[in-house]
């Protein structure tokens, strides 16, 4: 099955499925070791679709030049196990574990998505992302990821999924 068809059928399964366990949501910030190439994006994207689905992990990955933000949701053990792998990935350095929380519902229904470049995203949205990223990075201790933050990330990924 093509990645696109697999993605659609997994999304439908996730929408139909009711979670029987608490959702653990982890958010981190990182910086690329060097600018990501198309090969890096292809590698991360293709691995994430299959591997995250196998773990029942959904989420969002935003890469805006040197500002990377990822949110992962799923069973706590699955999210922590995946995070350990991502943390060990030398293509980037994690600069901040922003928050780890338990929630009753999954807010991100899709598997991880890679936003390659912010081209085509309104300047205002891009500026909001930079502001959010910098605030989270500078905050002391953990920061709350609010519904507004998640909505901003969703808007970015929607624009990011449009053809440029």
> Which CB, 80 or 91, lies closer to ligand FMN?
91
Residues 6+ apart with CB under 8 A from 48: 61, 111, 112, 114
Distance CA 143, CA 34 (A): 27
DSSP-based three-state secondary structure for 19: coil
Contact 120, 57 (CB under 8 A): no
**Residue 116: which of 58, 40, 63 has the closest Cα?**
63
Containing 11, the helix (H) or strand (E) segment is: helix 3-16
Does 62 contact ligand FMN by CB under 6 A? no
64 binds ligand FMN, rule: CB under 6 A: no
- 130-159 binders of ligand FMN (CB under 6 A): none
Smallest gap from Cβ 116 to ligand FMN, in A, equals 12
Do the Cβ atoms of 143 and 23 come closer than 8 Å? no
Kind and range of the H or E run holding 90: none
Q: Is 52 in the site for ligand FMN (CB under 6 A)?
A: yes
User: Closest approach of Cβ 19 to ligand FMN, in Å?
Assistant: 19
- Give me 151's structure tokens: 């909505």
Nearer to ligand FMN, 88 or 123 (CB): 88
Nearer to ligand FMN, 5 or 84 (CB): 84
68 in contact with ligand FMN (CB under 6 A):
yes
Q: Does 26 bind ligand FMN (CB under 6 A)?
A: no
Tell whether residue 117 is a contact of ligand FMN (CB under 6 A). no
Choose the binding region for ligand FMN from 13-21, 81-89, 100-108, 151-159 (rule: CB under 6 A). 81-89
Quote the tokens at residue 127: 């500026």
Write out the residues near ligand FMN by the rule CB under 6 A.
Answer: 30, 44, 47-48, 51-52, 61, 68, 70, 82, 85-86, 89, 91-92, 112
């Amino acid at each position: 099955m093509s990645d696109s068809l697999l993605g659609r059928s997994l999304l439908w399964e996730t929408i139909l499925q009711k979670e029987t366990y608490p959702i653990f949501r982890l958010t981190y910030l990182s910086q690329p070791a060097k600018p990501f190439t198309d090969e890096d994006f292809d590698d991360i994207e293709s691995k994430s679709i299959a591997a995250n689905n196998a773990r029942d992990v959904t989420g969002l990955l935003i890469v805006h030049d040197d500002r990377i933000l990822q949110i992962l949701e799923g069973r706590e053990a699955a999210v922590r196990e995946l995070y350990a792998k991502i943390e060990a990935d030398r293509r980037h350095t994690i600069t901040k574990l922003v928050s780890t929380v338990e929630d009753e519902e999954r807010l991100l229904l899709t598997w991880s998505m890679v936003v390659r470049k912010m081209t085509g995203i309104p300047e205002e949205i891009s500026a909001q992302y930079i502001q959010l990223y910098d605030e989270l990075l500078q905050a002391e201790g953990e920061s709350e990821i609010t519904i507004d933050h998640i909505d901003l990330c969703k808007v970015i990924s929607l624009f990011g999924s449009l053809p440029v």
